[in-house]
Amino acid sequence: MMLMDGLVLLSTLIIGVFAEVSEGNYALMPELFHLDDFDRCLMLGENALYCTFKMQLAPLDEAADLKVWETMQELNSSEKNFRHDWLRHGICVPFTCPNVVQNRSTNKIRQNEISDCYSTKLKGYGLKGHVTEIHCETEKSLYRVDYLDIIVAIVLLSLLVVVMYSSLYEGFARYKSKEDYDRITSTKYGKIIQCFSIPKNWDRLTMVHTDPDTNQLKCMTGMRFFSMIAVVVCHSVMVSASGFVSNPQYIEKMTSDPKSMSYINCHPITQTFFVMSGWLLSYHFFLSFEKANFQFTHILYAFIHRYVRLTIPLAVVVAITATWLPHFARGPLWDQVVGREYRSCRKNWWANLLYINNYYEEKNMCLPHSWYLAADIQLFLYSLLLLSIIWKNRRIASKVFAASLIMGVLVPGILAYIHDLHIVVRVYPEYLQTGRVNLPEWSYFMVPGHNSIGGYTIGLIGGYLFYQNRHKKLFTKMYQHIVWFVIAMAFPLTVIFLDLRLHDYTPSSLETAIYVGLARNLYAFGMCLMIFGFTQNGGWLIKDIVMIPSMQFFGKFSYCVYLVHVTIIHIRSGRTRSPIYISDPETIHGAIGDVVISTVFGVVLCLFVEMPTSALEKLIMSKERKSKVG
């Protein structure tokens, strides 16, 4: 009770700080974000010079009226507000500061000249300014086509030719008799062609599985799809809020509004994916126990299958990002948004393919959202080790799972205590501007694989319990369904609510350690309970929604949607020509657009890369196994 009272009091004080600044005083300050007409500037040809910069403001020494400066300082006193003494502007230099045109040689000269130009304009506010960061462009693009671009283009065009040829070859074969079709596609050449055929892969994508055990787990495809949509919406809103906005007050008030914060608090959602991944690994592992010819090499095959399936589509996205992506468009913020991603992928692409990018230079990670993939592979390997121990002695399964779960609670809690982290990953305006990757909570708390051991282990336990009870009806009474539903919903909702409310709370190191150790694991436990209840035919309307037959279709390409969605969002953000007006309707509209476009490109990546890779890998591995049996 005292904790909640403290939170309410603290929130009231901080909101009060903002309330003391009237809209009239707010309007008297210089524009926080501004962009001149980028395309008009480039029309100047050789005289074109467009600069985006960050400017540090200070009061004029001789200023008699410090009202504007005092308003800024009042707003700066709360982390919930932007730093209003930092202007972020983009200007066409020949139009806005023509005196700089003659001094185009170095950024240092430009910095000083633009500082002088703006200081003249800011005198009316009783302020002066100094440019601290600057990026300038001329009519020529910063990015040149090099040998890596050409190599990637050749590979992608070759893939396109193979897919088109295979689709036509297999497609025309469908117009022949069934006997002729079977004869054509049963050859070694025909089987390889089928792997790349779009019609064949579309059939695989839309295929509905009728296996009883698979039907029980159909809920996962729906949950995976809806969780993916939530992640895309979260990243869409986050990127929009981190750009140039015309109404910064909306962002500043966002952290006091639980509804708005829920748009960008997607961190717990990733635990759902870890739970499902652990569940399926555990379930299929114990199913394999039933086979008389089960061998340890099957575990190795499981890892190879997962690595190949995840890595080839990832490699394609990384390759495009590191080569052709910056050539797609231009804009005043293009280099800041897309260029930064391009440079990170040029430098650290290899860390993504080895799945160590969440430990190696995580602040300069290529495709920052791919931290989840690295953590998933790491936890997959960790879980294979646990299951290998259980394979030797199945009677110790409960002890192995218990030890892993305890470690999954203790490790993140202890690390949070040692590094003195904040209790949650905060989303404040300036953190959005610089990117959450600069927060210590990102490096130590969010992205490391060891901090999600608990969630993955909970999934392993869920898969094991499902394996043991898949043919049993455990929920036979209505009250059992009600109790299950209340408990399963209570844990995730409580964690989400607390994450929203704890942004402004300053806990002790012990409180932080306890919360960090428990919160995500409780969320994962709730989602695991939810899945288990769905397999027992519980859930009513929610179960019916996640088990809609079409969800199997959407769930199959959700991985590819995950891979491409941030790139889609960055392209939209980088092409921005003016500060955007952000509000609930605009946010929802932009998020829907990002979801739709990401889905379209996700399907393309799935049909052209993921499904051919998966089919070809299965074809090769099946031959390998047959040769070993022979």
Q: Are residues 158 and 190 in the same domain?
A: yes
Q: Of 164, 190, 205, which residue sits at a domain end?
A: 205
Contact 312, 360 (CB under 8 A): no
Residue 502 lies in a domain: no
From the list 341, 286, 280, the residue with the least C-alpha distance to 306 is 280
284-308 pLDDT, tens per residue? 888 887 765 667 677 788 888 889 9
In this structure, the answer to whether residues 201 and 227 fall within a common structural domain is no
**Inside any domain, residue 507:** no
Residues 173 and 69 occupy one common structural domain: no
Domain-terminating residue out of 89, 111, 137: 137
Is residue 408 a contact partner of residue 457, using CB atoms and an 8 Å limit? yes
Calculate Rg over the CA atoms of the chain.
Answer: 27
DSSP symbols for 469-495 = HTT-----SHHHHHHHHHHHHHHHHHH
- The number of beta carbons lying within 10 Å of the beta carbon of residue 562 is 23
Counting other chains too, the contacts that 430-437 makes at CB distance below 8 Å and 24 or more residues apart are 430/79, 430/82, 430/83, 432/238, 432/241, 432/242, 432/251, 433/82, 433/88, 433/242, 435/242, 435/368, 437/362, 437/363, 437/365, 437/368
**Average pLDDT, integer, range 34-54:** 93
Q: Is residue 519 part of a domain?
A: no
Residues 461, 576 share a domain: yes
Residues 170, 273 share a domain:
no
362 with 453, same domain: the answer is yes
157 with 300, same domain?
no
197 and 61 assigned to the same domain: no
The predicted pLDDT at position 16 comes to: 41
Q: How many whole angstroms separate alpha carbon 71 and alpha carbon 84?
A: 9
- Report strand pairing: 33-35 vs 86-92: parallel
Better pLDDT: 107 or 84: 84
Residue 213 has pLDDT above 50, yes or no: yes
Same domain, residue pair 98 and 172: no
**pLDDT of amino acid 6:** 44
Would you call 575 exposed, middle or buried from its count of C-beta atoms within 10 A (0-12, 13-18, 19+)? middle
Q: What pLDDT digit, counting tens, does each position of 574-586 carry?
A: 999 999 998 888 8
| 155 shares its domain with 100 | no
Predicted confidence at residue 604, as pLDDT, reads: 96
Domain assignment of residue 430, yes or no = yes
My answer on whether 550 and 438 are in the same domain is yes
Residue 276's nearest CA partner among 331, 332, 219, 325 is: 219
What is the residue range of 65's domain? Answer: 2-137
Task: Classify residue 512: in a domain, yes or no.
Answer: no
Q: Which two tokens stand for residue 549?
A: 């037959």
Residue 581 resides in a domain: yes
Tokens of 387: 């299951």
Backbone angles phi, psi at 128, to 5 degrees: -135, 165
> How many domains does the chain fold into?
3
Q: 3: pLDDT confidence band, cut at 50, 70 and 90? A: very low
Distance CA(578)–CA(245), nearest Å, equals 8
Q: Does the residue 87 lie in any domain?
A: yes
The 8-class DSSP code of residue 579 comes to P
Taking the C-alpha atoms of residue 119 and residue 386, their distance in angstroms, rounded to an integer, is: 64
Buried residues in 18-41 as b, exposed as e (16+ CB within 10 A):
beebeeebeeebbebbbbbebeeb
Q: Is the pLDDT of residue 342 over 90?
A: yes
Query: Model pTM?
Result: 0.90
Which pLDDT score is estimated for 9? Answer: 36
**Residues 430-486 pLDDT 10s:** 888 876 667 777 788 888 999 999 999 999 999 999 998 888 888 878 888 889 999
Whether residues 49 and 65 share a domain: the answer is: yes
Point out the domain boundary residue: 205, 225, 254.
205
**DSSP H or E segment with residue 90:** strand 86-92
Mean pLDDT, range 84-91, rounded to an integer: 94
Q: Would residue 527 count as lying in a domain?
A: no
- Whether 19 has a pLDDT exceeding 50, the answer reads no
